[in-house]
Amino acid sequence: MIDEISGRLGHYLDLLSTRQKLVASNIANVDTPGYQAKDIDFQFEFLSLTHGSSPHVVETQGLKARSDGNNVDMDREARLLAENAMRFNVASNLIRARMRLIKSAISEGK
């Protein structure tokens, strides 16, 4: 059985995975006329992790649109990719540490 912290970390990784897919989609559509960048309200979704539901995807507000209506900002998307990768690495390292701790407790109990 996975403890509560590990479960929350798993939900956090799911949230990061969703954001990664959205950023990749934004990058893939950088030249699509009329495409509006999408994201999640990461802070709100992080605080709502206990619900276990899928994150709410929204169009990113406040980005300057080009003449074709597309508002994908490659600098922003690259920053989000780097930030997301860093968060994913930290969370996966925490999960590995928790699993080692659980494994150690099981091994010592034999």
Return per-residue pLDDT of the chain as tens, 110 residues: 457 777 788 888 888 999 999 999 999 999 999 999 999 987 788 777 656 667 888 899 899 999 999 999 999 999 999 999 999 999 999 888 888 888 888 888 66
Range of the domain at 41: 4-108
pLDDT for 51 equals 60
Per-residue confidence (pLDDT) for residue 76, from 0 to 100: 96
Q: How far apart are CA 35 and CA 38, in angstroms?
A: 9
What is the Cα–Cα distance from 29 to 85, expressed in whole angstroms? Answer: 21
Which ranges of the chain would DSSP assign to H, the alpha helix?
Answer: 4-28, 42-47, 74-108
Which stretches of 29-73 are DSSP H helices?
42-47
Q: pTM for this one?
A: 0.76
Write down the pLDDT at residue 1.
47
Count of domains observed in the chain? 1
